[in-house]
A and B are shown apart, each in its own frame.
Chain A
């Protein structure tokens, strides 16, 4: 507990790096409060998520709405500590891999139990790993995509589990830190599809357990008083300070800042840039949670329609984006412009910002060179085909649609027409599996590295399998540590962003939370609020 203020300050200074001097108001109140008192026991924290979730099946928790809640219900084998920038022990008190990255051994912490009373022992971990790596056929659960090459797990001795992979995967350990690799009770694994998707029936070992729910309106979590197995570096090693966490839903962006200001919620996700200053000025907090576990926000390029098959065209679009203008107009100082496909704090990040400068003339030249000539209406065409491209994205990010509106204007100046379907969830459902939709505006969890999201021929990011890229991914997976790995990571980023330009990068992933002045909360590297360490000054 003594570490707490230090951690808060460190967290804030991390955030402050991204803030220019004029907007530091957002972080001041928290810093002052953190200096005046320690954690307060008790109380209920009301947390407003963006949209309701009906299907809580844990492996499919690749959405913030799910992972932000399940983060406090399910523990994992390992935990990524953002400060140290590395994995630390959690349910696995020790973990190691062989030199080939094909065998991993986990030593399971003793004394941990699931909320249904059953022990979280080596056998339970094995069952979970099998479910994650192989899926559960009876319940129509698909394997976790980050568990590529999973072959089997066996219990060794009293408290060890050894995982064998059919091919090297240096990212396997990181994958065990993801909420999507959350450990559930063996009884939960035996449930049918409907049972596994009901949060009321999911039993984890986390600091909070399910108490009640009103469908589509709220989920109430209550703390486990016997919780004593937080990640090694967590400030709070015991049970949660809060008694309860109430998760509600606030789909209307307009009301989010007001909900905090009027004291109706203690924490809200998805604050829009326009409301940040007003919220900070009212004495409340604007908390940007950095998404180190994710790629940056990007327009992933699909070449199915043929219009973007030429890498010169993709490169032209990459430098035809005025990122600074996006930041000045539709983002805020909570956002840091992307300099690669990885966030600035991610392990192996290389700064490619020089390649991402806005050069409209150079972009026009590249397009001319590629044979796309400006037509009568100002839109380029080639062989009778207009350079008209479509972008799809979910509506869950408050800034992605306005950003593409601005990009639409910028690209129109270089003769490219963008059909902006960002924020249209209905379109997304059909566009995600459609390689002819040129852009997918997104950011992805990369617990398994960049490989799983760009590598398969049917990946939803690019819908294409690039042999050169895949060779780098394969090499990267086989190297566990050291300069050689960093070099391979750098080559991946160079290829994705510059040489092949499959990823038009925009800004580092960050989730901007609004928090009441009494609320004290930190976030995981996956931007989930850590309710186990949170408290409220008012109790």
Chain B
């Protein structure tokens, strides 16, 4: 019997200890994980068909963001008021909304805003989290204790509350939503980076490069970061999905970007008002979000497998 590892969802926003002195959690930092085996990486990400299977639908979504006008003939902003609340049909795949706008067009045109906002959030988490994690793992016990306390503080204050405060302070928009949601993901990036770096730095070739006269910076940049990048990249994909969801949650609570901006989270959040009588307004954009988030999570898993095994 084989354990169910076929498509193990490895991405969980945590692998580090919750506080100094606590045990290392599962994952790379634990002693049971097999060390990096470069010999098994000969296919690389490019030769992996499963990766392409999840990546292809995502490229369609990216294409929506890049050139939305290729995918729909309708304006996302101007509707025909007399044609409002039409159920999905041949001309309007996703139906029309309360102002007679084509919902599919709003989804397609909303992709860019959605990916930019969520992407910005993830970049913030990535950059700040990487710095904290790197410092924690490489700059000594005192730095580790300090950095991990900082991560604890970020986890102790609900990210959600911070998002609300920031969005309130700076008016909802791509930047404030991105910062608000991004702060919440700093902690998970910091933890993953920390544990990955801890794993990588103990590998023979890293020790060897030190012996060969490498400086702190050159070793970190040339050896540690590239080798720790796999899981971080994987977390990036998953976190992008989580950020899209978090932004939609804020939209639901009334902290979304102002109309007429089409944005996925806002579409389902605002369409919910008509759930009883015009189900498609919230449901169809909702399906798009669910599919996109699942694809991103799958991409994360594929990436992880490609880099690890």
Contact = CB atoms under 8 A, between A and B. Distances in A.
Interface of A: 252-255, 257-258, 272, 274-275, 278, 325, 328-330, 395, 398, 401-402, 405-406, 408-409, 419-421, 423-427
Interface residues of B, number: 26
Interface stretch (B37-45, B111-119, B255-263): B255-263
Nearest to B282: A254
Contact of A406 (B81, B171, B277): B81
Given A254-B274, A274-B274, A395-B254, 8 more contacts: A252-B272, A255-B276, A257-B277, A274-B85, A278-B277, A329-B98, A330-B98, A409-B78
Interface string B77-96: 11101101100000000000
A353 B82 CA distance: 23
For the complex of A and B, 4 pairs with smallest distance between CB atoms: A329-B81, A254-B275, A253-B273, A426-B168
Contacts of A395: 254
Contact of A254 (B99, B255, B273): B273
A159 B283 CA distance: 64
A255 B99 CA distance: 21
Given A254-B273, A254-B274, A402 B81 contact: no
Contacts of B172: 424, 427
Q: Helix, strand, loop or mixed for chain A's interface?
A: helix
Contacts of B98: 274, 329-330, 402
Q: Helix, strand, loop or mixed for chain B's interface?
A: loop
A426 B100 CA distance: 28
Contacts of A275: 276-277
A329 B98 CA distance: 7
Contacts, number: 66
A329 B100 contact: yes
26 contacts: A252-B272, A253-B273, A254-B272, A254-B274, A254-B275, A255-B276, A257-B276, A258-B276, A274-B277, A329-B82, A329-B98, A330-B98, A398-B273, A402-B99, A405-B99, A405-B259, A409-B260, A419-B258, A420-B258, A420-B259, A420-B260, A421-B258, A423-B254, A424-B172, A425-B254, A426-B168
Nearest to A255: B276
B255 A408 contact: no
Nearest to A431: B171
B278 interface: yes
A408 B79 CA distance: 12
Nearest to A423: B254
A398 to B, nearest CB: 8
A253 B85 CA distance: 16
B74 to A, nearest CB: 14
Given A424-B258, A426-B255, A409 B274 contact: no
Contacts of B258: 419-421, 424
B274 A328 contact: no
A264 B274 CA distance: 19
Contacts of A329: 81-82, 84, 98-100
Contacts of B272: 252, 254
A423 B270 CA distance: 11
